[in-house]
Amino acid sequence: MSHSLAFMSKVDDGALYLLEDNSHKITLEQRSFGYVKSFLYGFEGYDRYILTEDPVMEGFIEYVINKFPMTPFYQYKTIGVGGWNQLKLIIEKNDTEKIFTAFSNVIGIVDGDAYSEISQTYNGPTKILCSPVEDIEKYIFLNREALLAEIELPTYLESNNIKKASKAYWKYLTVDKGVTINHLYQLVIDSQNENTERLANEIRAFLEKDSIEI
């Protein structure tokens, strides 16, 4: 048993378990690193919180905030929790226990492929927004011939699993070929400008509101 973030960050996915007291019922459940970090330590000193599925989406949201015209009034924090189910759990926890702050000062942003799932299973008051694409890594992978025609295809054998193949291709681009993540984010914006602008408008309204509920 450990409370060390440094140690937990090095543990393989699926190897972290969190002991929780849920309404006087003790549970031991598998949780993501982002969930555990948020639950145990929180992020004090911020007015508003944007919770996302993973670091890729977290970075995309930060890029959108900097790219589109908006001037956040409130101090905010964007957090990649780890998967839509973990995101839903931490939002539900905040709804009842205010891990971060009041629900009105929190939004969740998920990939398009998870939006329908979380919309059907989450009935709480926290606002859930949708990414402009089904999945950022998968979108880049499936549209690589149009978006990255100048990059030669990898020589390794690609997985038949689209999720695994897209993650491997993302690593191939950003590590092996030196493509910046911000360039990939911009490709998504350029090809999905209307959907991205709609999301940016939602984020702008959230960060520039005139009042805050305590």
* Concatenated DSSP letters of 44-99: TT-SEEEEESSHHHHHHHHHHHHHSS----S-EEEEE-SSHHHHHHHHHHHHHH-S
Give tens-digit pLDDT for 140-189. Answer: 999 999 999 999 999 999 999 999 999 999 999 999 999 999 999 999 99
Non-local (6+) Cβ contacts of 7 within 8 A are: none
| Alpha-carbon gap, residue 88 to 203, rounded angstroms | 19
Which value, in Å, is the radius of gyration of the alpha carbons in the chain?
18
Domain ranges of the chain: 41-132+193-214, 134-191
What is the pLDDT of the chain when averaged over all its residues?
A: 84
CATH number assigned to the domain with residue range 41-132+193-214, chosen from the 4 options 3.40.50, 1.10.10, 3.10.590, 3.30.70: 3.40.50
Burial status of residue 35 (CB atoms within 10 A of its CB: 0-12, 13-18, 19 or more)? buried
pLDDT of residue 173: 97
Percentage of the chain exceeding pLDDT 90: 63
Low-confidence ranges of the chain (pLDDT < 50): 2-9, 41, 211-214
